[in-house]
Structure 1
């Protein structure tokens, strides 16, 4: 396949959110601060890899070298890239931005053992996509949590937007991977292996069925004819998920006019238009958007109150509620929704009633989204104390959503652009 201009297939949401964030004054200051704090750390990252990983050469791993060369040709990426393999029983991969040295792609030894050639091109194309789109120009999660003398620079509502951009960036990188692998089924099996750690041929991943898991979250339980076996699949709300949402975005791209023309699979004009493809992605991302923070309705007010009260209890759990934490909640919710701070006992009593109403009125998706935002508030300073985690666990139980959602959100917040 000939070289493709990455601008032709970049996610519209990725492009728009990045443009808005790069123009934000708080993000600009945070980026300056991150650059000052991290200058020179690139060499440290490479030295660390040299001590506990193996740099692959073409003679050592010709298959890996060929996959990288093919991906670079498709994406028009002409800069040197080093590839390291790290001894690891888990299946994972990551790109490392390494100024002033060359970028690095790190693959686990388990991934190299169990991925097929097409799957390897997909995952390496994904990581190379992050480098091609220069996603590391907004380093995450550092930009969301970096501090100056006054505290965390980026307010919480902007931090949520940064994490949403990370998810949109994953869509662009997945498209790069699909173009490099040229095989939607290989993308499906790659997703499945990354998510499950399984490599057995006894389980055959179904791309479309996996993508349909999103539908079980968008509708309320009462709207379904019968329970579905995938109702507990809430991992699409983490900041960097191997999730049904990402898979559905890949499905949409694989059926798009643009993909089919670029790969020579169909005559011009066949497939989904850009508008149709983007509408699918925008709809799914809209379900994850913290829109209730701005909406004016009794239901949105109920969700905001739950976030405020839950945020107070999480903040109080570890060394009490500080003025800075109260300011953070005000930045997220707006000062008009914060008001006077109740006592801890009063907040806990009110929250019990508020959460009961949320559990009754809100579909699974909204309850999951509420817990995700509460988790991001707790994690915005880069650390979640054990006492805070216990409060999040209680909130998950009260909202009838799995605690694993907290784990996935914390994991994604720590590694949003792997």
Structure 2
């Protein structure tokens, strides 16, 4: 099933409008990075977790956020920014999203967009994106944010805000602060993988790999790509991954450990790798999980897939530090197993905390398991 690219920006002398595949019934699991998908599946299994998150989010007042944008931004529809609205509807159609979240354009010189909210998420795009992106790149950006909405990534962002504030309030208590910072570090790692997931959603929405890569190039270097080359940009990504020595590896850890987003060259390389692996074309050919089957997703299976993804990542990288560990005795494999296991353990710790908060909200009492893991039947 296909949809016409009714809003194509080509001039009469330009190329004909492309046709994009409508991915009927597609589940967000199709584009989610395994580490992101494993965490999401686990969090959805927690009894009462959604209620607790929404109660916490009330501290920041989702309605207040929307009112603030209603008051000081432009709500996009067929009358206001109609060409942006057309790109938005096209992205949603490709991802088979029948009900569009509200979309606002906000005045800002920074090329960015975000999805906000839990009950009724909405999307905000900065004016810089409208000024610097062509129509295909804009469609990919809007598809990226729709991917965040469909995956429920606002849960991550909300909990991260809460935990960060708690960590600041508990900074006087070394043990509490250290424990929270460990959980925050794990959440940030999940969020970076969530960004890779949303990049894939943006590609599936626009179905133009060149436009998705250009979007990341513009995020790195601004809107003028007349003197920028895609192949050279990907060469930068390869040098970032494997160039230099162990000092560079340590600098990369420092740069990314407390960041919510992977660096643009790493995002471009990850997206290119996903395309080259055949996953993108496989989805376009109709081989993808359906929303109707989401209820059968297994936490155990997804956590194992996350661990395997980390093992593959560590075996593939040319990072000097990982290379040293390899030479010391298959250290990359061991490190990948540790990272995958750590993701599962952090999920279990956070799951126990979520369960405890849910029980407290319901007025229940239960002593947590001695090993810090949840006992509701979910595998860690």
State the TM-score, normalizing by the size of structure 1. 0.55
The C-alpha deviation readout for 1:264-318, integer Å capped at 9, x for no partner, is: 59xxxxxxxx99x946873289999xx9xxxxx9xxxxxxxxxxxxxxxxxxxxx
Q: Map 1:54-93; keep pairs closer than 5 Å.
A: 54-93=74-113
Q: Name structure 2 gaps, 5 residues minimum.
A: 1-20, 287-304, 323-327, 329-345, 347-380
Q: Structure 2 CA distance, aligned partners of 1:35 and 1:217?
A: 46
Residue 229 (structure 2) pairs with residue 211 (structure 1): no
Match of 1:254 among 265, 275, 284: 275
What CA distance in whole angstroms lies between the structure 2 residues aligned with 1:14 and 1:75? Answer: 19
Relative to structure 1, is the Cα distance of residues 260 and 37 closer, same or farther in structure 2, using a 3 angstrom cutoff? closer
**CA spacing shift, 1:262–1:156, aligned 2, 3 Å:** same
> Alpha-carbon deviation of 1:257?
2.1
| Aligned residue in 1 for 2:27 | 5
Compared CA separation, residues 194 and 280, structure 1 to 2 (3 A): farther
CA contact (8 A) 1:90 1:197 kept: no
**Shift, 1:250, TM fit:** 0.4
Counterpart selection for 1:48 from 68, 72, 87: 68
- Number of equivalences: 273
RMSD: 4.2
Matched, 1:183 2:208: yes
C-alpha distance in structure 1 between counterparts of 2:124 and 2:234, whole Å: 29
Residue in 1 aligned with 2:188? 163
Alpha carbons 2:241, 2:317 under 8 Å: kept = no
Secondary structure in structure 1 of the residue aligned to 2:36 = helix
Contact 1:95 1:130 in 2 (8 A): yes
2:163: which partner in 1? 144
> Aligned runs of 1:320-359 on 2, under 5 Å?
none
Q: Mark the CA change 1:161 to 1:82 in structure 2 (over 3 Å): closer, same or farther.
A: same
Contact 1:236–1:244 (CA<8 Å) still a contact in 2? Answer: no
Match of 2:130 in 1: 112
* Distance apart, 1:9 and its partner CA: 2.9
Please report how far the alpha carbon of residue 110 of structure 1 lies from its aligned counterpart in structure 2 after TM superposition: 1.7
Map residues 19-418 of structure 1 onto 2, 5 A cutoff.
Answer: 19=41, 32=52, 35-36=55-56, 38=58, 41-97=61-117, 99=119, 102-138=120-156, 139-147=158-166, 155-206=180-231, 208-216=234-242, 219-220=245-246, 236-237=256-257, 238-264=259-285, 278=309, 282-283=313-314
Tell me if the contact between 2:109 and 2:127 (Cα under 8 Å) persists in the aligned partners: yes
Q: Distance in 1 between matches of 2:315 and 2:67?
A: 40
